[in-house]
């Protein structure tokens, strides 16, 4: 249930699951099998995330140590998971490589990477065009121009 909630409310994925029916089945299984009922935690986490800025500046640091082949595998997994068209794969790969480059070259915690959303924020349209970013100083609020070229953005700030 919580994975469905994440996919819908965080990744804006559209699905055909009947959550009410699934909850009934879950309740029946818990009663029949005498399972300990656990409190859902995802709603609270999503609420906390919503309190943060609309744009996530964490920048996927997990990509920092991945090589090109690993990024391609991860991008293909995302492509399949979100049922995106094959022609969107290069934009997913480029996005992941941009985050990797940022985390490998920028060690200043006062500089954040922000993604510029050019489409409505739903996964189905997120990769139709190359992803654009800006770098912003947390101290001054000054930011770079929008670009899909992370190397260009980093060089603009001497990184």
Give the domain-ending residue among 14, 32, 51. Answer: 51
Q: Is 85 left (phi over 0), alpha (psi -120 to 50) or beta?
A: beta
Domain residues for the domain of 29 are 2-51
Residues in the chain: 159
The verdict on 148 and 72 lying in the same domain is: yes
Phi and psi at residue 113, to the nearest 5°? -100, 130
The verdict on 71 and 100 lying in the same domain is: yes
Q: How far is CA 129 from CA 28, 48, 118, in A?
A: 45, 30, 8
Residue 10 counted as domain residue: yes
**Integer Cα distance of 6 and 45 in angstroms:** 10
Give the domain-ending residue among 51, 70, 88. Answer: 51
Mind listing the pLDDT tens digit for each residue in 30-85? 888 887 776 666 666 666 555 444 444 456 778 888 899 999 999 999 888 888 88
The verdict on 94 and 151 lying in the same domain is: yes
Say how many domains are in the chain. Answer: 2
The band of 116, judged by pLDDT with boundaries at 50, 70 and 90, is confident
Mind listing the pLDDT tens digit for each residue in 18-29? 888 988 888 888
């Amino acid at each position: 249930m919580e994975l469905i909630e994440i996919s819908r409310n965080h990744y804006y994925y559209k699905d055909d699951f009947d959550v009410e029916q699934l909850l009934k089945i879950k309740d029946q299984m818990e009663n029949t099998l005498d399972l300990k009922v656990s409190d859902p935690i995802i709603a609270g986490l999503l609420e906390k995330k919503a309190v943060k800025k609309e744009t996530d500046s964490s920048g996927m640091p997990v990509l920092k140590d991945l090589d090109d082949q690993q990024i391609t595998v991860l991008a293909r997994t995302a492509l399949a998971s979100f049922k995106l068209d094959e022609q969107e794969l290069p934009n997913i790969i480029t996005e992941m490589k941009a985050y990797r480059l940022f985390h490998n070259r920028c060690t200043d915690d006062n500089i954040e990477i922000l993604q510029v959303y050019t489409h409505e924020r739903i996964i189905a349209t997120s990769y139709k065009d190359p992803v654009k970013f800006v770098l912003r100083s947390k101290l001054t609020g000054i930011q770079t121009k929008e670009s899909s070229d992370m190397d260009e953005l980093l060089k603009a700030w001497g990184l």
